[in-house]
Structure 1
Amino acid sequence: MQERVSINQQPVLIKRWPSEIPLFVVILVVSIILWIAIIFGTVGIGLIYALFFGLIFFFAHLALIMHLRGSAIQLGPNQFPEIYHRVVELSAKAGLKKTPDAYLFQADGGLNAFATKFFRSRIVTLYTDLLEACGDDTTARDMIIGHEIGHLRSGHLNWQLLTAPGRIMPFLGSAYSRACEFTCDRWGAALCGDPAGAHRGLIILAAGGVYKKNVNVEAYIAQQRTLDTGWLTIGKWLALYPPLSARVDVLSRPGARPYSSWKGPLRALGIMAAFVLIPILIATSIPFVFQPMLREMGVLSNDFGTILSPGLAPQDSFRQPGSDTDGSADPEANSGADGSPATAPSFASVAEMPSPQPAPTVADERLNELAQQCQAGEMQACDDLYNETDFGTPAEQYGNTCGGRLPENTEECVSLVAQ
């Protein structure tokens, strides 16, 4: 049962982390757009899936709340009163109207604490091992409690259903989560009233109770520089929590920002760009890699962009002369007027063919010679020029059209002239 807090002092005010509000606005706008797309873009089907997954998360959260209320120890005037009164006092100091329910929870050595809500109930859970690690350092303990109260005071648990689509988006949702953590570290430091104690609270999260006094803080802060690589920068961007070394750094220098440089982000952007560009390059290079093989198989006849002669519709890409649109044989196309098999159109001689076009100039001596011979009327030279030149070049097109004589040609040039 949550109790009302009597506020006998001026509540503490802190400045949120600079990027928190802008990121929340972006998440809100993106979420509204996505909800509209889910509801109207899928004719309501997407909403059914969203409801299904929402119920899964709801019942999972319900199980957590049931476990806390049934198995964890609820703090109160008669249950660990010292810790309970600190929760009450810090809640009042933060400006909360009601004291959140507070629980002591044994988590098999975990050094953590969290804030959550269930309908209108607000809950702060403290792990027993974390309180043991704090020991007699009540200021460090207050830092931990104040951090979780900061989540409630800042409204980080509100509007979760509305903003769910934006929160689960990689990079965007995680960036907002990290900004919230920095904000709540400011709350913890302000509520505990001792910057050094707040500092120790984060060190305990990193080193535990036994080693907390022996930590070289400066070396630990400098450790965050090892994350300044491409892959580890991507990892930081995807993480829901900032590195503890960065959080300690920020508390050590009020108003400062975590260490950053251009090297890691630039490498990270390069890696992500490669994941986009490399598949595109592979996909666009496939036609050129398989062009010779397709020609040998007889699939590629002219322009590989459509795998057909210019003027044919895309659905006719692999239709051969004498085939209907469904690929079945067309008797009329495969027989002459007297019923005898039809033959490909041919010319009695090269002289009967249309006039050639000027031969293109080719740097390669042999290919240039083939182009000249093709223009002169040697059909075998035209076929050789087509087969030996690169796809899409003027020389390849010149050979394919039998020296520019037949722009719509799909046959070997030698087969068009009577032998």
Structure 2
Amino acid sequence: MAEEIEKKKKPKSAFREWWDSVLFAVVAATLIRGLFLEAYTIPTGSMEKSLLVNDFLFVSKVHYGARTPKTILQVPLTHQKIWFTDIPSYLEWIQLPNFRLPGFTSVKNGDVVVFNYPGCPERPDQYGGYDKYPVDLRTNYIKRCIGIAGDVIESKNTAIYVNNVLMPNPPNSQKYYKIETNTNVNPKLFSKLGITERGSNTDNGKYYYDINATESALADLKTNDFVTNVYPDLIAKGDTMTYYNSFPYGSKLFHNNRDNFGPITVPKKGMKIVLDERNLALYKSVITTFDLNKDAVYKDGKIYLDGKAITEYTFNQDYYFMMGDNRYESDDSRFWGFVPADHIVGKAVFIWMSLDAEGNLFNKIRWSRLFSLIK
């Protein structure tokens, strides 16, 4: 009887064990990051006080549906650059069509959304970057969705109307105010109330402060008898000073600014428009840059598709209008326009860690913000 000899497997080396573990971790992390949840850090104050600088949060990809990768030649777990270098982390040799997997909801008015910044083709000198990276690698922004596809958006002295209905301000949104007092205000009071002082001056025994505050903080401040007057720091309708010039640019038909703009219709997939002077001003960059057209150009006051001038146009995808909760310190749709659907990354769901850069050893962590839901 033939004797069966059991072959013994050669044990893996320590290096091979380490390599297999690392490879499994990278693959698992890449799948989780791409399909389910991704961690982000808030770098700027455009969403304060709703989200604070150095809030660490998770963004859900499953709410709206994860996007399939477009740029596949990329170092895993990177974004635009290889860690701690200026070396690009990707190659554009292969660019795949972009699809979105099924989600269980869609972007709603009021959602806090992470998206790839589309940039502003109208002002590449000021709001450039839309063509610097592939769509899925453009810079990540986080804002609140004010208008979804098909909505008509209008701002009247900072009050936002969606389809002629007043949209409530987020509870922690901030705006600029000017206050008048009959005495010098202790900076500790501003700090206690979470108010940012932007400047001050005195005149004829009166003290004037420029502040950035939430509505609740302003209400608490007004309970002090030394506050004699409060003025909203508004830019009047029709005032288009260069610094506050807003989207769309270069048209005499619009006089939009930071506080007063619209009405503007947010493009919707299947929506058909006549390319008159007004619509060309609003949508020419959408059609020529973002709406998935292979050959669309604007010249001599007309849109050309595949070399032919067109007088009507039907949009190929949905768009959104985004604004930061820190309304006067946010670079958003008021200045560069609409966010295309294929730029949507996911919904911000909860904060898992928050650090105060100015805190000491004992109050470095903002404990009250840990594992809090984003509203």
TM-score by length of 1: 0.20
Please tell me whether Structure 1 or Structure 2 has the larger radius of gyration of its CA atoms.
1
Q: Could you say which structure has the higher helix fraction?
A: 1
**TM score, norm. by length of structure 2:** 0.22
